[in-house]
Amino acid sequence: MTSPKKVCIKTYGCQMQVYDSDRMLSLLKPFGYTQTEDPTEANLIILNTCNIREKAEQKIFSELGRIREYKKAQEAQGQEYLIAVGGCVAQAQGDEIVRQAPYVSVVFGPQNYHRLPEYLTKVRRESSWRSPEGVAAIQNGSPHRCAPRDDVPVRKHHVDVEFPVESKFDYIPAVSETKASAFLTIQEGCNKFCHFCVVPYTRGAEYSRPVKAIIEEAKHLVGLGAKEITLLGQNVSDYHGDDEKGNPASLAVLLETVAKELPELKRLRYTTSHPRDITDHLIECHGSLPQLMPYLHLPVQTGSDKMLKAMNRKHTIDLYYGLMEKFRKARPDIMVSSDFIVGYPGETQEDHKQTLQLVQDCIDVGYSFNYSVRPGTPASVLDQVPEDVKTPRLYELQDLLRMKQLLAHQKQVGLVNEVLVEKKGKEPGQLIGKNPHLQSVYFDGDESLIGEIVPVKILAAYQNSLHGELIEA
């Protein structure tokens, strides 16, 4: 018998985190947990964390301080309140979390969340346990000591940041509901070791799920009402999961298989790719598969060959320009988005100008960040570009990116876009959805249209969205 309990999950970072959080909810359901958005009324709070940049990591530690107060209030009323920290900060900083926040009960890495119910049971079983020396953390099976912080009730923690031999995918139950636009993780981890990035250390080595498991999950999602599926991974362009015969299938083959096996699926997307892995076959898919949406996220980070080399990206700017030409030939209306790191160690004004040139020439939408030092990565020990040099460069790049995005929006004015309706807008009677180029479109319509794909004539373009009117069928 399980008694009803509430879980609140806060998700940070990339789309794979959203996928993982949804699976955590499915895992916890049989244990009597229902979801709440309100952390003060929960019995379990899970922080699914990201540490791609320093700010993302700091956020977690300040959030934990707030949550501790909720815990005290709930426990004062005799309610259980367990705190679990998962995701990439947990993986990288498991011990530090337990040291700074000894009231956390479970710390688990991104590859271990299928074991969460087991950890919760263990924590509950051992919660009356007290140690005269302080709090024991279990890591790699052997207890070690952490100093007690203060008067919070001492509770045994479970820290699991090992990379287990079994795949978590074999243990997580399917979701029982989905949005019209669903995520499906097909690949995890990264072997590329770009010199600025923590992902290879937090998500581990690359692993591709077999084609069969992906098709089954895609069918399940479509059965639940998904109209669009985005295939996810840190490096989906390097996907090489087993096909039916046990041979590695490429992303292009997987996309073709999904399109063939799920004729009722209206939209297909994939993210994120690396320029180094893009094949002609993948580019051809953008011309041959109508389900594959005209949008590509292909991070380049910089427009300078010298910086690409320093970052260990292992391709040239010429290769990127060449790819853009081929993608646009295969799908002339494709929208290209990218990521940029500004002020990587060694970046000069000339390198920065080359980044601006690349954006000018071939990018429609961009996400840009100041380089953030990540402990343990090769770039962390290099001489750093000062903040007062970095930040004006970032602003200059962001101004240009904003202009490019507005231009991309303006191109849609007067056209009819197929919009996948996601939710109600801010104004009464307003709906918001996404067009094939992943641009946000808002228009007036009945909320029964949520989850449907409808034609909308675009009337006006703004910085972050498009405004249109529904075309009656």
Binding site for ligand F3S (CB under 6 A): 13-14, 16-17, 50-52, 87-88, 198-199, 202-203
Kindly state the tokens that stand for 443.
């228009």
> Per rule CB under 6 A, is residue 367 in the interface with ligand SF4?
no
Nearer to ligand SF4, 238 or 364 (CB): 238
192 contacts ligand SF4 (rule: CB under 6 A): yes
What lies within 8 Å, CB to CB, of 472 at 6+ separation is none
Quick check: 277 and 314 in contact, CB under 8 A? no
- Residue 193 touches ligand SF4, criterion: CB under 6 A: yes
> Does 186 contact ligand SF4 by CB under 6 A?
no
Taking CB under 6 A as the criterion, the residue among 199, 229, 232, 268 binding ligand SF4 is 199
| Residue 154 vs residues 67, 150, 226: alpha-carbon distances, Å | 16, 9, 45
Sequence-ordered list of residues with C-beta below 8 angstroms from that of 58, at least 6 positions apart, any chain: none
Single out the residue of 267, 274, 286, 409 in contact with ligand SF4 (rule: CB under 6 A).
274
Contacts with ligand SAH by CB under 6 A lie at: 52-53, 196-197, 199, 234-235, 272, 274, 299, 301, 339, 341, 369, 371-372, 374
Q: Which of residues 213-272 bind ligand SF4 (CB under 6 A)?
A: 234-235
Identify the residue among 184, 190, 236, 379 touching ligand SF4 (CB under 6 A): 190
- 198 or 253, CB closer to ligand F3S? 198
Interacting partner of 401 out of ligand SAH, ligand F3S, ligand SF4, none (Cβ under 5 to 8 A depending on kind): none
- Distance CA(239)–CA(208), nearest Å, equals 6
Write the DSSP symbol of residue 385: P
95/396 with CB nearer ligand F3S: 95
Helix (H, G, I), strand (E, B) or coil at 94: helix
CA-based nearest residue to 339, from 251, 255, 275: 275
CB of residue 407 vs ligand F3S: minimum separation in angstroms? Answer: 28
Residue appearing with tokens 């669903």: 182
C-beta separation of 149 from 202 below 8 A: no
With binding defined as CB under 6 A, does residue 374 bind ligand SF4? no
Half-sphere exposure of 209 (CA within 13 A, CB side): 22
Q: How far is the CB of 56 from ligand SF4 (least distance, A)?
A: 14
Q: CB of 189: closest distance to ligand F3S in angstroms?
A: 9
- How far apart, in whole angstroms, are the C-alpha atoms of residue 157 and residue 152? 13
